[in-house]
Structure 1
Amino acid sequence: MAVEGRLDLPMVGERQSLREQVAHALRAALVAGEMRPGVVYSAPVLAGQFGVSATPVREAMLDLAKEGLVEAVRNKGFRVTELSERDLDELTEIRQLIEVPTVSRLADAARADDFERLRPFAQEIVDAAERGDLLAYVDADLRFHVELLTLSGNAHLVAVVRDLRNRARLYGLSQLSQRGTLTDSAREHLALLDALKSGDGEAVRHIMGKHIQHVRGIWADPDAE
């Protein structure tokens, strides 16, 4: 079984709770691919790198476990969850079934103001992609999609999609950013808002479906074109 190596983790301060800061830093390491699937990470070892006690690290790892990002390994630590190609396909299929029809039904020129309020979030995704800030990209991307789905008025649907997106983490982001194609994916959010504002449900359906499949295809296979 693979054992943890030393990670380039930041020291944490006291403005937020240590648990929140550690969880945020660990998510960043996951997104950047520094924490690898299948590898077991020890809370005491990570705590030493953070410069904190093991307790907030264990608490943060338990938070990540609830999100499906890691799993506890008895008497050893936490292992980054591995997702198979089949897992990714199934999660993508569920997202397509839920998000595409839900978002396409929102298309309505009379709701232009609602969609315009989401434009700063969409632009934030593009800006983060352009500067290569992967964690900011992930945060903005999740916020955009959650806020958009919230317009449906179905809180349970939003919770389900949030969980799906957490489980199907963003794969290959660092490679995508290095190749300069992350910005192209980011701009799809702006195109989606334009279609929603115009009331073109078919265009929304096409863009949303393409975007989800685009995410599945390229992020799961960083070498895909």
Structure 2
Amino acid sequence: MPGSGAVTRNTLRQQIADALRDEVLAGRLPPGTEFTVKQIAEQYEVSATPVREALVDLAAQGLLESVQHRGFRVRIYSVADFVGMIEARTLIVDGIFRRLVERGTAPGAAEMLVSVRRRAEEARRAAHSGSLEVLIGYDLRFWRELSGLVGNTYISEFLHRIRVQTWVFAVPHLQRQPELMREALWNGHRELVEAVTRADPDEVRRLVHAYNQHGLEWAAGL
């Protein structure tokens, strides 16, 4: 079949990128870790081409840096970077909810809210139990689906990228403070989705403000 090789390669490229992103988010590839295309290709037992493409994709997303003549390195974010991410995230999230209040949700929102509610419950349980890796998975899905209610994929994809970056910064710090982890994890997912369901703009704003302040206050104590 013409083109089937390209499809297979692109699928493999995405699988490798997803797997490496998960490793970074789980803290198994901490910031500053360096590796080459050859090392990753051998690890996953694949050719170098889809690996190189996957690493370039992750570098474009801000998770990796290209190191001349040495391969790639997991990016190290500073507290100032994290604060900047929070500020950017605040503007985007505020715009999302303002759009929802002014124009309503995209078609099919009722079905989408059912799924968002499930993500909210799972994220809340993971936060209460201190299950960081589980929380990250549900938290990313929660915000991606919630932002999808506006029906603009550019907005939801941009927000998702920032959220992944904030977790990349946060994970090493949280893992070094296991006794404080539960206090540091935000768990207002369920309250937020219920406020969105009720179309209660004041409560939505209050919850989102508290969410962003939570992140800023945590970063200030690092």
Tell me the TM-score normalised to structure 2 length: 0.73
* CA deviation vs aligned residue, 1:59-116 (integer Å, no higher than 9, x gap): 22122112110021222110112222222212211211221343255369x9794534
> Equivalent residues in 2 for 1:26-37 (5 A)?
26-37=20-31
Q: Which segment drifts farther, 181-190 or 92-101?
A: 181-190
Cα distance in 1 for partners of 2:44, 2:211 equals 37
Deviation at 1:35, TM superposition (A): 1.9
In the alignment, what sits opposite 1:199?
199
Cα distance in 1 for partners of 2:49, 2:158 equals 30
How many positions carry a matched residue from both structures? 206
Unaligned runs of 5+ in 1: 1-13
Residues 21 and 180 (structure 1), Cα distance of their counterparts in 2 relative to 1, 3 Å cut: farther
Q: Which segment drifts farther, 156-165 or 65-74?
A: 156-165
SS of alignment partner, residue 96 of structure 2: helix
Tell me the TM-score normalised to structure 1 length: 0.73
Deviation at 1:120, TM superposition (A): 1.3
Are the counterparts in 2 of residues 38 and 80 from structure 1 also a CA contact under 8 Å? yes
In the alignment, what sits opposite 2:4?
none
Deviation at 1:140, TM superposition (A): 2.6
Deviation at 1:206, TM superposition (A): 1.3
Are the counterparts in 2 of residues 176 and 182 from structure 1 also a CA contact under 8 Å? no
In the alignment, what sits opposite 1:175?
175
SS of alignment partner, residue 187 of structure 1: coil
Are the counterparts in 2 of residues 68 and 166 from structure 1 also a CA contact under 8 Å? no
SS of alignment partner, residue 76 of structure 2: coil
Cα distance in 2 for partners of 1:146, 1:42 equals 31
Deviation at 1:38, TM superposition (A): 2.9
Residue 96 of structure 1, aligned match among 86, 90, 97: 90
Deviation at 1:216, TM superposition (A): 4.5
In the alignment, what sits opposite 2:131?
132
State the AA in 2 paired with 1:204.
Answer: V
In the alignment, what sits opposite 2:164?
166
> Equivalent residues in 2 for 1:12-161 (5 A)?
17-103=11-97, 106=100, 113=110, 115-129=113-127, 130=129, 132=131, 134=133, 136-161=134-159
Cα distance in 2 for partners of 1:197, 1:176 equals 37
Cα distance in 1 for partners of 2:175, 2:80 equals 22
Deviation at 1:182, TM superposition (A): 4.7
* CA deviation vs aligned residue, 1:106-162 (integer Å, no higher than 9, x gap): 369x9794534420121232355548361x533332222122122223443333323
Cα distance in 2 for partners of 1:207, 1:90 equals 20
In the alignment, what sits opposite 2:5?
none
State the AA in 1 paired with 2:124.
Answer: V
Deviation at 1:53, TM superposition (A): 3.6
Unaligned runs of 5+ in 2: 1-7
Deviation at 1:187, TM superposition (A): 3.1
In the alignment, what sits opposite 1:5?
none
CA RMSD of aligned residues (A): 3.4
